[in-house]
Amino acid sequence: MEDYLERLKKGSLKLYALESELPPDDAVRVRRTFIERETGADLSATGSFTIPIDRAATKNCENMIGTVQVPVGVAGPLLVKGEYAHGSFYIPLATTEGALVASVNRGCGAITRAGGADTRIFRDGMTRAPVFAARDITHAREICDWVASHRDEITAAAESTTSHGKLTGIMTAVGGTSVFVRLEFDTKDAMGMNMVTIASAEAAGVISAATGARLIALSGNFCTDKKPAAVNMVMGRGRTVAAGIFLPDALIRVVFKTDARTLAEVNMRKNLVGSARAGSFGFNAQAANIIAALFIACGQDPAHVVEGSLAVTTVDPVEGGVYVSVTLPSLPSGTVGGGTGIATQHECLALLGVAGGGSPPGTHAKKFAEIIACAVLAGELSLLGALGAQHLARAHQQLGR
């Protein structure tokens, strides 16, 4: 080890090059030791982990020195009645926020006692939107017209790069001499960002060659990836999924210590009016909390919580209670690729019965999305109930400090 540490110190060996000379385990250990000596920090806890790192150090994380371990709790059982997810599930939640798992657990209990939540997928498509430069607005219109009339040619080019992805939609948008082509793909069980990026590059080459449009960036922010955006709220990105349940008056009183009218008013004044007044793209109580915890536990890209939190929660007064629903317009998620292959994350996916690819392809990712929607619904119910009963501060005082 000392020889490698000396070469790192002298600069004749770069940190990123250790894997080219050493097995991943040894490379991570040498790198961590070097950083400890350079900074004086004790990284012994960071260096204590159980996951096999052959893949993690070469596919998921560059310059790896160890892991940061996040506590994982389970909420449930949660009774789900979806097209792809049907049955009781224990929900793995990776979080350091005290009271979160307890809150979701209470919502799961209410949903299960009420007979289970219905959930459905409404749209499925991952997007990438290259931006091209046109000579002038006349040329911009010509580019848009060409894209509209040559869909088959663009589709053939895009799908030539993947054995799974299918191009399902193309739209254009113009801002002066900037032309955005938003390409939407069915990515089966993958979240699909790598897949659609590679496919979009091939499609962009065809568009550029045929129209004279100058490709500026493969992602022009009209996708929109990892940023709050109205286009995702309106058109969807990833999976668009909703979950809903009828809660009778008696159950609301017993579980949430409040009543149907109060639940509806809290949702209207907080989630709808409050969010509108704030200019928020999310009209919900805590969707990001549940999505983040599930994403971290299940190997999703945590940055996509930005899109996932574009959720709308509604509470409709009905005879004998309320019908509560949550709609997630933009949920980028998958069960293969990315962090899903890391051992601990793979176990959490297996806990939900969605690890790896489904049969037929795409069914696991859809099942996972339906479970996520119902878990978000559980979190929304619990927080709305706590607010309605004026219990929020007490819960955090007991569990979150």
Residues annotated as part of the active site: 97, 301, 396
**Helix extents (H) in 40-178:** 53-55, 100-113, 137-149, 151-159
Residue (of 198, 218, 220) closest to 208 by Cα position: 218
What does each C-alpha distance from 237 to 3, 128, 184, 377 come to in angstroms? 49, 10, 8, 20
d(CA 88, CA 106): 15
Bridge-based pairing state of the strands 117-128 and 72-82: parallel
Calpha distance 285→377 (Å, rounded): 10
Exposure class string for 222-256: b at 16+ Cβ within 10 A, else e? bbbbbeebebbbebbbbbbbbbbbbbbeebbeebb
Query: Under a CB-based contact definition with an 8 Å cutoff, are residues 129 and 215 in contact?
Result: no
Token pair listed for 53: 């790192």
What φ, ψ does residue 282 adopt, rounded to 5°? -110, 125
42 C-beta neighbours (distance < 10 Å), count = 9
Q: Rounded to whole angstroms, how far apart are CA atoms 132 and 134? A: 6
DSSP 24-59: HHHHHHHHHHHHHHHH----TTTT---S-HHHIIII
What one-character DSSP code corresponds to residue 82?
E
Q: Output the six-digit token pair for 378.
A: 């559980």
Tokens of 82: 């979806």
